[in-house]
Amino acid sequence: MNIIDWLVVAASCGLVFAVGLLFARRASGKGAAGYFAGDRDLPWWAIGLSNTATYSSGTGAFVMLVLVFGLSGNWLWWASWIVWMPLVAIVWARLWRRMQIVTTAELISLRYGGQPALVARKIYAVVCSFGFAVLIIAYITGFFAKTLAPLCPLATWQVLLIFGGITVVYTMFGGLLGVVYADVVQFGIMITGSTVFLVLAVSQQGGWQHILQHVQTIRPAGLVQTPPSPSIDLLTLVALFVQGWFFAGSPTAGEGMTAQRFMAARSERHAIGGQLFNSILALSFRTLPLIGLGVVAMSLFWTTDLEKHLGAAPAGSVVLADPAFAWGELIKASHLPHGFIGLLVAAEVAAFMGSLSSLINWGGSFVVNDLLPARLAEKDGKIWVSRLTSLALFLFAATVTILFVDNMVSWFLFINSAMVIFLLPLSWLRFFWWRFNVWGELSAVLLGLPLSILIWFGLDFQSKPMWQGLGLLFGLSLVVLITVTLLTPPETPATLRRFYARCRPPGFWKPVRGFCPLPPAMEPSTGVMVVDSLLGMAASLGLVLATNAIFVGDWWRLGLALTTTLVTALWLLYRMLCQGGIHQPATKPSVEVAP
């Protein structure tokens, strides 16, 4: 990189910084709800774009995934995402919006009662802000530093100081609104830069057919579109698919920054529409140029892990010491003009800053809304505590990044699956089963993260087939949570009625539902939501099958998959718009609770 490239990066960062700061006054004018919940005024398109940008913490991660596992490697996240993304849109988005809360921790004091609920809320807030948020920030920062290393070998602390510092400032002052609209700009930069890069890289490597033929010659298994494959066995695929049904409870998915945007939506309609839009963008649109770059990387590079499993690198292939270097090395191999290299680095910076800003705001929201002492509850003081909390959270995460983050493939799998799996049953038990209580909640929150770290890293399940670690954690969670719940008293009838009247969840609420009659035709039935969810999953499945098929020229699969997606998506939209699937309730439910 030269001075022209750095000027392009600086201009990009300046644009994002300005957009974030535009919302500083609005974010500070209405207390915590304005700062962390965007004054509940996010439109559906901003929710969809922002959530997608948040998930795209680094374009280099997708390039690495395809290089290491081949095209089928995308199923390491697709297998769960084709389930949870439509499921969250149909079922959970409306529930988060209608509860009128600021953080997911606040749900605990609504769902459960008494002093144990207050304690559980604070513990959950600590685990999310100083556990999950910090670990995810550490992971994306470590990956970002390795991605840039071939182009500008900055130390991790320098990455944190330069790009993290810019992000922290606009996040501190702009609140959630600043974060979301900066995300929209960053997503545009990321997708534009990656698409142009793919076009140039393909042309420089002899065209797409030449690239495919070369990969077919040196590594034919890399072009297998769906598992089971040499790198992903059937049991791992099944474990990930099952996990997806519960991913609504994941702090990295349906219950993290995604839920924060639902709570900030203008209405339930905007929350649902935003998640459906997010599904299209996240599952396919954002990945198209990145998967293509991964295939180009397969034609050029080999890794030390591939040497262990597939043998020595073919003639002409460059062996990478770390697969996380693939994106940067691909830029170097493409001999791009200066200025455009800066644009590509700006795209990677945009992806990193989008995720980092969301994580800082999300983690800080727990400290201010759920942990802040009452004496600091005044509006003006709360805003400054919010800003200082964002700064402190970033500094703590920076320390973890520098000291602990390494082996990016293992961290990728841990962050996206193993880290959260013990908490996943909460998404169903809290909302669908009246008997679940605060002691089951506490069991999940207290044991989840320590057990995940112990099993994945301590007992080295990271080196075993993936399904073993995931299956062990998920099975333990179900046994522990249900056993603890059945051995302890249920919540009081008054607490359950209060929650049901506010949230109106589907599922096993018969002992409570009779005391909280709902207006007729206000809610889609459980059967309607089941059918809608299955249609959404079918549309998502077709979308991801088409995404891989287009890269290998499998036109029959592409046509069938796109037809499936189009038919099921239109059927779903018809049902939701014309048969009551999306309604527009009053801001607060007008439901009387029987004593």
Q: Which of 517, 539, 564 represents a domain boundary (last residue)?
A: 517
User: 15 lies in a domain?
Assistant: yes
CA pair distance 524, 514, nearest whole angstrom: 17
pLDDT at 518: 63
Predicted pLDDT at 566: 96
Residues 266, 408 within the same domain: yes
> Can you list the residues of the chain whose pLDDT is less than 50?
581, 584-595
- Name the E strands within 182-339: 301-303, 318-320
- CB distance 28 to 35 below 8 Å: yes
Chain-centre distance for alpha carbon 404: 22
Nearest to 86 by CA among 577, 568, 585, 500: 568
DSSP character at residue 320: E
pLDDT at 9: 84
Which of 551, 79, 65 minimizes the C-alpha distance to 294? 65
End-to-end CA gap in the chain: 70
pLDDT at 432 (0 to 100): 93
Domain boundary among 473, 498, 517: 517
Whether residue 526 sits in one domain with residue 513: no
Give CA–CA dist 414/268, Å, rounded: 32
| 398/544 same-domain check | no
Report DSSP state, residue 246: T
Q: Tokens representing 488? A: 């302890």
Taking the model in full, what pTM does it have? 0.85
pLDDT at 120: 93
- Name the amino acid, one letter, at 284: S
DSSP secondary structure, 25-86, as one string: HHHHSSHHHHHHSGGG-B-HHHHHHHHHHHH-S-HHHHHHHHHHH-GGGGHHHHHHHHHHHH
State the Cα–Cα distance between residues 316 and 299, nearest whole angstrom. Answer: 9
Q: Which of 356, 290, 250, 354 is nearest to 61 (CA)?
A: 290
Q: Which structural domain, as residue segments, surrounds residue 420?
A: 3-517
Residue 594 lies in a domain: no
Q: List all residues 6 or more positions away from 586 whose beta carbon is below 8 Å from its beta carbon.
A: none
| Rg of the chain in Å (alpha carbons) | 23
> How high is the pLDDT of residue 411?
65
How far is residue 66's CA from residue 295's CA, in Å, rounded to a whole number? Answer: 7
b/e per residue, 33-69, with b = 16+ CB within 10 A? Answer: bbbbbbbbebebebbbbbbbbbbbbbbbbbbbbbbbb
Select from 499, 517, 535 the last residue of a domain.
517
Q: Is residue 589 part of a domain?
A: no
Query: CA angle, corner 82, sides to 80 and 85, nearest 5?
Result: 95
Do 126 and 138 sit in the same domain of this protein?
A: yes
> Residue 10 region, left (φ>0) first, then alpha (ψ -120 to 50), else beta?
alpha
Same-domain check for residues 68 and 186: yes
- Measure the CA–CA gap between 390 and 397, rounded to whole angstroms: 11
Q: What SS3 string covers 397-438?
A: HHHHHHHHCCCHHHHHHHHHHHCCHHHCCHHHHHHHECCCCH
Residues 16 and 69 in one domain: yes
Q: Say whether both 513 and 530 belong to one domain.
A: no
φ and ψ of 205, to 5 deg: -100, 15
The per-residue pLDDT for 342 is 86
In one-letter notation, the amino acid at residue 180 is V
Closest by Cα among 523, 553, 43, 478 to 266 = 43
Residue 511 shares a structural domain with residue 526: no
The CATH number of residue 287's host domain is: 1.20.1730.10
DSSP-assigned letter for residue 153: -
Q: How many residues does the chain have?
A: 595
Q: Are residues 224 and 318 in the same domain?
A: yes
Same domain, 510 and 526: no
What residues does 42 pair with on adjacent strands? 265
Pairing outcome for strands 301-303 and 318-320: parallel
> Could you identify the residue written with the tokens 């079918």?
538
Q: Based on the domain organization, do 491 and 569 belong to the same domain? A: no
Measured CA to CA, the distance from residue 406 to residue 14 in angstroms comes to: 30
Helices (DSSP H) in 245-267: which residue ranges? Answer: 257-263
